[in-house]
Amino acid sequence: MPSLRLFVALSTPSALKARLEELSATLQRTEADVRWEPAEKMHATVKFLGETPAERVDIVGEVLSRIAQEIPPFPVVVGGIGAFPSLRSPRVLWVGMEDPTGWLRSAQQTMEDLLASHGFARDERTFHPHVTLGRVRGSRNLGRLLAMVESLTFERQPVQLHNFLLIKSELKPHGSVYRTLRTAAFIGNQTHHR
């Protein structure tokens, strides 16, 4: 049975995607050696599943649907530019995501627990919601890029999230190609308290 490279993400509303695209275009003017993410790949990963047997896609889909039934559409605050592991030695550039209602953290915890009960490995790293803008490949114009990152303000803005996506990532010679296999819409009752 073939295996698929899978991850769970939050779908990015188009208004936010447009803002991220603008920010990325501005940063690209530094001509730094960065592999920039195209707009259609800008999303926040909630859980990276990695190589997964194809027959387990339905299990993951069921877990996502179960969680999505419990949570309403909820806001996150997107803003601020940062880097992993740090801005002094950046490998991944990102835009941050805050979780004022706690719904995202709660959903992510539940997802970890439910998937672990089906034999999926737990994430060792602390969950840090963000949208990846690009991956640094070399030092060309890095100083110029970091100076621009520090001078830019990407205003914090609330964004309503509506669903989880289960995405298949296929590695091709020119980079990865994403295909959404399942969508789980948040349909929890708005008056329901955790």
Residue 1: the pLDDT is 66
Using the predicted structure, report yes or no on whether residue 193 has a pLDDT greater than 50: no
In a domain, 124, yes or no: yes
In a domain, 99, yes or no: yes
Instruction: Tell me which residue of 65, 31, 135, 127 sits closest to 93, measured CA to CA.
Output: 135
> How does DSSP assign 25-72, residue by residue?
HHHHTT--SEEEPPGGG--EEEEEEEEEEGGGHHHHHHHHHHHHHH--
In a domain, 139, yes or no: yes
Residue 173: the pLDDT is 86
In a domain, 192, yes or no: no
Average pLDDT over residues 28-42: 94
Q: How many domains does the chain have?
A: 1
In a domain, 190, yes or no: no
Cα–Cα dist 184/178, whole Å: 17
In a domain, 115, yes or no: yes
Average pLDDT over residues 6-31: 94
CB burial of 158-190 (b: ≥16 within 10 Å; e: otherwise) equals ebebebbbbbbbeeeeeeeeeeeebbbebebee
Residue 190: the pLDDT is 55
In a domain, 104, yes or no: yes
Using the predicted structure, report yes or no on whether residue 192 has a pLDDT greater than 70: no
Residue range 104-148, pLDDT digits in tens: 999 999 999 999 999 999 998 899 999 999 999 999 999 999 999
Check which CATH number belongs to the domain holding 166 and give it.
Answer: 3.90.1140.10
Cα–Cα dist 123/112, whole Å: 8
Domain limits for position 77: 3-185
Residue 176: the pLDDT is 85
Q: Is the pTM of this model over 0.75?
A: yes
Residue range 47-99, pLDDT digits in tens: 999 999 999 999 999 999 999 999 999 999 999 999 999 998 999 999 999 99
Q: Give the residue carrying structure tokens 């970091």.
A: 146
In a domain, 119, yes or no: yes
